[in-house]
Chain A
Amino acid sequence: MGYQEIIAYGIVILAVAFLIKKSFWKSKNNKKGSCGGGSCGCS
């Protein structure tokens, strides 16, 4: 297997991992929301 194949298949594995992560892992990053979301603190 040449360098091109190693890199190309490595990228494919990364792409699959990214899509799996995006589909099944929830982001824990809780950003402050907008006023419409009621989380801006405008009480």
Chain B
Amino acid sequence: MKNIINVALIGNPNVGKTSVFNALTGLNHKIGNYPGITVDKISGDAKLSNDVLAKVIDLPGTYSINASSLDEKIVLDLLFNPQHKEYPDVVVVVADIENLKRNLLLFTQIKELGIPSVLAINMADRMTEKGISLDVKQLEEKLNTKVVLISAKKKQGIEELKAAIIDFRNYSTEPSVNATAAASEFFGKLALTYPTEPIYKLWMIYSQDLEIGSINKSSIEEKGIQLSESEVKRLQQKKTIKRYQFINDLLKEVYKKDIKAATDLLSKADRILTHKVWGYVIFFAIMLLVFQAIFTWSSIPMDWIDGLFGSLSTWIHEVMEPGKLTELIADGIIPGIGGIMPFIPQIAILFMFIAILEETGYMSRVVFLMDRLMRPFGLSGKSVVPLISGNACAIPAIMSARNIENPKERLLTILVTPFTTCSARIPVYIILIALVIPDTKLFGVIGLQGLTLTLFYLLGFLAALVGAWILKFFIRSEKKSYFVIEMPNYRMPIFKNVVSTMYEKTKAFVIGAGKIIFFLSIIIWFLGAHGPGEKYENAEEIVTEQYKGQSVSEKELEDHIAGYKLENSYIGIIGKSIEPVIKPLGYDWKIGIAVISSFVAREVFVGTLATIYNVGSSGEEDEDGTIKQRMSAEVWPDTKEKVFTLASGLSLMVFYAFAMQCTSTVAITRRETKSWKWTIFQLIFMTAFAYLAAMLTFQFLK
């Protein structure tokens, strides 16, 4: 009589499970080179030996055992229910030789279910060409399991896999990693209450609110075992960290990838792209290309949007009755919002390039390059992700530092991350570069404006490195954590993914910035269009008297009146009072107000200036003037020299490169460090450093 066993195939998406299924069963199910081909379980019969037949069930690809998607629910239903007619006698976890770290997370979860497991490492035929070596024996010992190297496509190792499956009764069902040590009291109670059930299964029932057999969350709680929602989350986090610590340590010992020994074309490309000299040269060239494109491609839509808002202000003045509401809309809200909207094309183009670089797999190579660069500055390998993602926004970047286990390394990373050039700096840089850097080409090829933007990006990164180097003398960390990164294969970017990332990120920027700017421009308009005392009230008479007998046109006189009113408005009084502090940096009081208001968020700078200039103009012929034209026309009242020069423009850019102009980042630093001391230190250090650097820049260049 033949022996029939149930075999479940499980693995991450795109590891070749269906190829293994086809190789075992001799069937021909559809396979593909992208994740998600198997969306439901499929089954087929396989003859493992003359005596043993197997019913092989190919489960949908999953990264972990959670009931978060339908695919994962199918996996759970089968693996958690021994009464299920297809409940497996043995689970074959299929992993990809190039992505073992991610694949092993799922394996350690499966191993905790108490079902005999075999780890089938697929695509093993690529090991030589990829320069990979694996100590299979040690891996088996540490994972407490049977490991088989296979290549399902080339039908290599399939007989060994069949033999390993037949031998399933001899395998240990003990977990590879004791993740329950993360909360021994809670898990101990569970084990005592349900001695016949695997702990991990009970934990999944409790944390995922599942019902398996007669056990559900309520029945567990009725037995006096209870955790709050936040405790459950904390425990999930602890368990995941414990698993990854185990996997990282294991891979360090058994898995080696020597890209110098790799022979395939992509590995050769990798050798150049991650080369200690050429890697950085290529990265710099790509950055330069991206920023050149930002300037070249965005100039037409930028001018169009800028002009549109200018015309909108004029139109509002024409169609609405004169009055405070009209002024608020036409001189406050529209210029404020219009100050930031022209930067949508630049932001969209930047995110498009970032999405393309991520999609192709190049960004992982950049992370690898940066890891090497950061180490001499005292940063750990795990600081790479926060510092790279800080180029989009410091808030998620600081939050991602949670993955750094060592508290001192984490603190160091949090303190320097805001130096990296977030997207909120883009509007400030672009408007100032367009104003003070000539639109010429170096050697007839490299645009000077794009080059300046690239250099400011690098300046931010350099500031983070130098900051870390200084701070490491005060925040000493004896043990450095290691960072393991998977190098995904190169692939063509998927158009839909690029467009959707570009859209989502741009939308988030516009809504996030737009909301704050909307409300701030209302307040700035109020402070600029109202003032205390007689000087403001009688501005018209005072200025008319001053220019009596002088040959000034009516337009000029109205501009002088508007300027006088602005100087004596609430915002003018505030601005004038801070002018002595900011004058050494080359800024007038209007820039000072924009700098102060942009403490909320950097992108507010341009919107504030647009509102101030609009309130301070006569509101006639220059209504259509774009923010760039208005900034360019600004002069010092005493010397009549331009306010925005190379010296003051670069000084402002240097200030924004280093200053902590973002209240959300301050809040997130406080939350993540749980320390006002370090939060205030970061704020003061960055602001003081920015002030000094900006002053030196202006004084040196003026």
Interface residues of A, Cβ cutoff 8 Å to B: 2-5, 7-9, 11-12, 15-16, 18-19, 22-23, 36-43
Q: Which residues of A contact B63 (CB under 8 A)?
A: 42
Our pick among A3, A15, A37, A43 for the contact of B519 (Cβ within 8 Å) is A15
Known: A38-B241, A42-B236, A43-B179. A8 touches B325 (CB 8 A): yes
B325 CB to closest chain A CB (Å) equals 4
CB-based contact A11/B64 at 8 Å: no
A37 to B233 alpha-carbon distance, docked (Å)? 10
CB-based contact B236/A15 at 8 Å: no
Q: Which residues of B contact A42 (CB under 8 A)?
A: 63-64, 66, 105, 236, 240
Among B480-518, those with CB < 8 Å from A are 516, 518
B201 CB to closest chain A CB (Å) equals 13
Our pick among B239, B522, B526, B663 for the contact of A43 (Cβ within 8 Å) is B239
A32 CB to closest chain B CB (Å) equals 9
Known: A19-B523, A37-B402. A5 touches B237 (CB 8 A): no
CB-based contact B233/A36 at 8 Å: no
CB-based contact B523/A41 at 8 Å: no
Q: Which residues of A contact B663 (CB under 8 A)?
A: 23
A10 CB to closest chain B CB (Å) equals 10
Question: Cβ of B475 < 8 Å from any Cβ of A?
Answer: no
Interface mask (B577-613 → A, CB under 8 Å = 1, otherwise 0): 0000000000000000000000000000000000000
Known: A38-B236, A43-B207. 6 other contacts (CB 8 A): A4-B321, A12-B526, A36-B400, A42-B63, A42-B236, A43-B243
Among B399-422, those with CB < 8 Å from A are 399-400, 402-403
CB-based contact A5/B66 at 8 Å: no
Size category, B interface: 35 or more
Our pick among B68, B327, B516, B518 for the contact of A41 (Cβ within 8 Å) is B68
CB-based contact B325/A19 at 8 Å: no
Question: Cβ of B334 < 8 Å from any Cβ of A?
Answer: no
| Contacts across chains A and B counted by CB atoms under 8 Å | 79
Best-buried of A36, A39, A42, A43 by chain B (most CB within 10 Å): A43
Q: Which residues of B contact A8 (CB under 8 A)?
A: 323-325, 327-328
Interface mask (B151-191 → A, CB under 8 Å = 1, otherwise 0): 00000000000000000000000000001000000000000
CB-based contact A38/B325 at 8 Å: no
A5 to B402 alpha-carbon distance, docked (Å)? 50
Our pick among B64, B236, B323, B516 for the contact of A4 (Cβ within 8 Å) is B323
CB-based contact A39/B233 at 8 Å: yes
The DSSP consensus for interface residues of chain B is: helix
A36 to B404 alpha-carbon distance, docked (Å)? 11
Q: Which residues of B contact A16 (CB under 8 A)?
A: 523
B669 CB to closest chain A CB (Å) equals 15
CB-based contact B240/A38 at 8 Å: yes
CB-based contact A12/B523 at 8 Å: yes
A19 to B523 alpha-carbon distance, docked (Å)? 10
CB-based contact B207/A5 at 8 Å: no
Q: Which residues of A contact B324 (CB under 8 A)?
A: 2, 4-5, 8-9
Q: Which residues of B contact A15 (CB under 8 A)?
A: 518-520, 522-523
Question: Cβ of B208 < 8 Å from any Cβ of A?
Answer: yes
CB-based contact A41/B402 at 8 Å: no
- 30 A/B residue pairs, CB under 8 Å, sorted by A: A2-B323, A4-B321, A5-B325, A12-B328, A12-B523, A12-B526, A15-B519, A15-B520, A15-B522, A15-B523, A36-B396, A36-B400, A36-B402, A37-B399, A38-B233, A38-B237, A38-B240, A38-B402, A38-B403, A39-B233, A41-B208, A41-B233, A41-B236, A42-B63, A42-B64, A42-B66, A42-B105, A43-B203, A43-B235, A43-B243
Q: Which residues of A contact B144 (CB under 8 A)?
A: none
Q: Which residues of B contact A12 (CB under 8 A)?
A: 328, 522-523, 526
Q: Which residues of A contact B323 (CB under 8 A)?
A: 2, 4-5, 8
A7 to B526 alpha-carbon distance, docked (Å)? 13
A11 to B243 alpha-carbon distance, docked (Å)? 53
Q: Which residues of B contact A39 (CB under 8 A)?
A: 233, 236-237
A29 to B105 alpha-carbon distance, docked (Å)? 30
Q: Which residues of B contact A36 (CB under 8 A)?
A: 385, 396, 399-400, 402-403
* Chain A minimum-CB-distance residue to B326: A4
A41 to B209 alpha-carbon distance, docked (Å)? 12
Enumerate the 5 nearest inter-chain pairs by beta-carbon distance, A residue then B residue, closest first: A4-B323, A38-B237, A4-B325, A43-B239, A43-B236
A5 CB to closest chain B CB (Å) equals 5
Q: Which residues of A contact B403 (CB under 8 A)?
A: 36, 38
Q: Which residues of A contact B68 (CB under 8 A)?
A: 40-41
Best-buried of B64, B241, B326 by chain A (most CB within 10 Å): B64
Q: Which residues of A contact B235 (CB under 8 A)?
A: 43
CB-based contact B325/A7 at 8 Å: yes
CB-based contact B523/A43 at 8 Å: no
Q: Which residues of B contact A41 (CB under 8 A)?
A: 66, 68, 207-208, 233, 236
Interface mask (B316-333 → A, CB under 8 Å = 1, otherwise 0): 000001011111100000
CB-based contact A19/B237 at 8 Å: no
Best-buried of A8, A16, A23 by chain B (most CB within 10 Å): A8
B545 CB to closest chain A CB (Å) equals 28
Known: A8-B324, A41-B66. A18 touches B519 (CB 8 A): yes
* Chain A minimum-CB-distance residue to B63: A42
A42 to B68 alpha-carbon distance, docked (Å)? 10
B233 CB to closest chain A CB (Å) equals 5
* Chain A minimum-CB-distance residue to B237: A38
Best-buried of B105, B179, B208, B523 by chain A (most CB within 10 Å): B523
A2 to B326 alpha-carbon distance, docked (Å)? 12
